Amino acid sequence: MGTIWVVLIALATLVIGLILGFFIARKTMMNYLKKNPPINEQMLRTMMMQMGQKPSQKKINQMMRGMTQQMENQDKKKKK
């Protein structure tokens, strides 16, 4: 009877650890991506040149601002 309790407690601890680990890792990655976006101005400039557009600083700034606002809007929707 005692070994059953030990196994059940071990399984419960494992499940709780997995769930907590998932949420902690998710929160950490979201903060990392918010602070270090996966795309920067140089990448945008390169993409625009590959598409045959002449990238002006104004266009690049608009695109970066739009992406930043989109990320903020997604965060606001998730918090509601």
CA distance 42 to 47: 9
CA distance 66 to 34: 14
The pLDDT of residue 80:
64
- Dihedral angle at the C-alpha atoms of 29, 35, 41, 42, nearest 10 degrees? -60
The pLDDT of residue 78:
73
pLDDT in tens, 37-67: 788 888 999 999 999 989 899 999 999 899 8
The pLDDT of residue 76:
79
Share of the chain above pLDDT 90, in %: 54
